[in-house]
């Protein structure tokens, strides 16, 4: 039952225990207990709201930074990844396969702010060998949600 509850909450965190109970054919109390336990055990970490910032007129710049690192003795990539994810600018940090070791999603108010982050905070970390910054020009889909779908074509009916 927990996996089904988690999938529902992952799709829409505003779904109430009563709604989930109806969907799964169980009691709302059982759902509330399962959710509370999942929160206590760290299975549910955060409830997230996805915002289309382009429609809010709040300038934000996003960049994906690929980072090559030298793994550290005894900790591998984890120690360097931790130094990076502690920065508030780092929205997400992932260990990757391929030409780069880490992918870091960063957000800032300007390209200059992100460039400062890369030059003054990220690059000086011991073990960081190289970084390639890719600025995100437009977001089309995030977390499974299409942000700016195609507008409906509204045609006038043709009467013959």
Please report, in tens digits, the pLDDT of each residue of the chain (160 residues total): 999 999 999 989 999 999 999 999 999 999 999 999 999 999 999 998 888 877 887 788 999 999 999 998 999 999 999 999 999 999 999 999 999 999 999 999 999 999 999 999 999 999 999 999 999 998 888 888 888 866 555 556 666 6
Overall domain count for the chain: 2
- Do residue 17 and residue 78 come from a single domain? no
Distance (Å, rounded) from C-alpha 149 to C-alpha 151?
A: 6
Q: Does the residue 101 lie in any domain?
A: yes
What secondary structure does DSSP assign to 18-60, as a single string? HHHHHHHTS-HHHHHHHHHHHHHTTSS--------GGGTT---
Question: What's the CATH code of the domain at 22?
Answer: 1.10.10
Contacts within 8 Å (CB) and 24+ apart, 143-151: 143/48, 143/50, 145/50, 147/52, 147/54, 148/52, 148/54
Q: What is the pLDDT of residue 156?
A: 60
Instruction: Provide the pLDDT for residue 14.
Output: 92
Which two tokens mark 150? 């195609």
Q: Which domain holds residue 31?
A: 2-40
Helices (H) and strands (E) in the chain, counts: 5, 6
Q: What does the alpha-carbon distance between residue 62 and residue 149 come to, in Å, rounded to a whole number?
A: 20
β partners of residue 65: 104, 133
Question: 30 and 58: one domain?
Answer: no
CATH number, domain containing residue 133: 3.30.70.920
Q: Do residues 98 and 72 share a domain?
A: yes
The answer to the question of residue 157 being in a domain is no
Same domain for 60 and 10:
no
Q: Do 111 and 89 belong to one domain?
A: yes
Residues 17, 69, single domain; the answer is no
């Amino acid at each position: 039952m927990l996996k089904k509850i988690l999938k529902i909450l992952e799709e829409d965190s505003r779904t109430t225990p009563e709604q989930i109970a109806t969907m799964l054919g169980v009691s709302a109390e059982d759902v509330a207990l399962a959710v509370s336990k999942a929160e206590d055990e760290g299975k549910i970490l955060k409830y997230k709201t996805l915002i289309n910032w382009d429609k809010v007129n709040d300038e934000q710049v996003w960049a994906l930074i690929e980072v090559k690192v030298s793994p550290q003795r005894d900790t591998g990539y984890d120690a360097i990844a931790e130094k990076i994810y502690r920065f508030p600018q780092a929205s997400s940090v992932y260990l990757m396969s391929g030409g780069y070791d880490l992918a870091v999603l960063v957000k800032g108010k300007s390209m200059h702010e992100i460039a400062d982050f890369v030059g003054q905070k990220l690059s000086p970390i011991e073990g960081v060998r190289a970084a390639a910054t890719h600025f995100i020009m437009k977001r089309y889909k995030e977390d499974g949600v299409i942000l700016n779908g195609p507008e409906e074509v509204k045609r006038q009916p043709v009467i013959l």
